[in-house]
Amino acid sequence: KQEVTQIPAALSVPEGENLVLNCSFTDSAIYNLQWFRQDPGKGLTSLLLIQSSQREQTSGRLNASLDKSSGRSTLYIAASQPGDSATYLCAVVVSQGGSEKLVFGKGTKLTVNP
Amino acid sequence: NAGVMQNPRHLVRRRGQEARLRCSPMKGHSHVYWYRQLPEEGLKFMVYLQKENIIDESGMPKERFSAEFPKEGPSILRIQQVVRGDSAAYFCASSLMGTVNTEAFFGQGTRLTVV
């Protein structure tokens, strides 16, 4: 059964710092990996989708990498801003229980201090 | 193009009542997924539906919970005889062609509180 782990659980950084969030998964048989952002009391906003054949994706100040063989992904945030404060969730799409579905980590809660 | 719409945003029910949660997918999307998020826990898969069909309900409790996605109208997650342990945020996601090849988009969620 696929398990997704995100480390650290919480991270606090000063504004302007570059940072890396980590995601690991136990089974490399994934279709793709998606990073989301969740603000308190809100829904999930999709940030980046990396297909299993890809190594990385970039969107603005965000860069996500995928190393399927080692079961790892990282989300790099450049020049962090207070508005980046949120919980970041990593999810992999796997075939499990009869269909393909997203399996989530518990997230990393990021605080960017002005 | 409106995103995934869920309503109500907040729902309070007394123990034993029924809760109905609605989800309208993004325009053109026919794949709908329901997830539950308990406090301090990650999102857990409940059910996957396509129009008029339940594809996978392996994450849904066998009793009191049901889901549908009719030909017309929103997807409904129904919880009968709610108990305190059902208190959680329920999220709906939709995708164009299933999550293998296309991105999943989530709604704002329905926060159910059972008193």
Mean pLDDT of B90-106: 86
What integer pLDDT is reported at residue B97 of this predicted model? 80
The chain-wide mean pLDDT, for chain B, equals: 93
Interface size between A and B, measured as CB pairs under 8 A? 71
- Is the pLDDT at B1 greater than 70? The verdict is no
What integer pLDDT is reported at residue B99 of this predicted model? 73
Chain-centre distance for alpha carbon B5: 11
**Paired tokens of B23:** 């989800």
- Judge: A31–B33 Cβ closer than 8 Å, yes or no: no
The answer to whether B48 touches B56, Cβ cutoff 8 Å, is yes
Residue of A nearest to B111 (CA): A41
- Of the residues A88, A99, A108, A109, the best mutation for testing chain B's interface (the one with the most B CB atoms within 10 Å of its CB) is A99
- Judge: B106–A49 Cβ closer than 8 Å, yes or no: no
Nearest to B91 among A4, A34, A43 (CB): A43
Q: What is the pLDDT of residues B14-66, one digit of tens each?
A: 999 999 999 999 998 999 999 999 877 889 999 999 988 999 999 999 999 99
Q: Give the separation between CA B26 and CA B105, rounded to whole angstroms.
A: 8
The answer to whether A26 touches A18, Cβ cutoff 8 Å, is no
Residue of A nearest to B60 (CA): A97
Nearest to A43 among B33, B45, B107 (CB): B107
The verdict on A19 touching B (C-beta cutoff 8 Å) is no
Residue of A nearest to B92 (CA): A43
Q: What is the four-CA torsion angle of A74, A79, A84, A87, rounded to 10 degrees? A: 20
> How does pLDDT run along chain A (114 residues), one tens digit per residue?
899 999 999 999 999 999 999 999 999 899 999 999 999 888 999 999 999 999 999 999 999 999 999 999 999 999 999 999 999 999 999 988 778 889 999 999 999 999
Interface of B with A in 43-72 (CB under 8 A): 43-45, 48, 55-56, 58-59
Q: Give the separation between CA B90 and CA B36, rounded to whole angstroms.
A: 5
The verdict on B5 touching A (C-beta cutoff 8 Å) is no
The verdict on A43 touching B (C-beta cutoff 8 Å) is yes
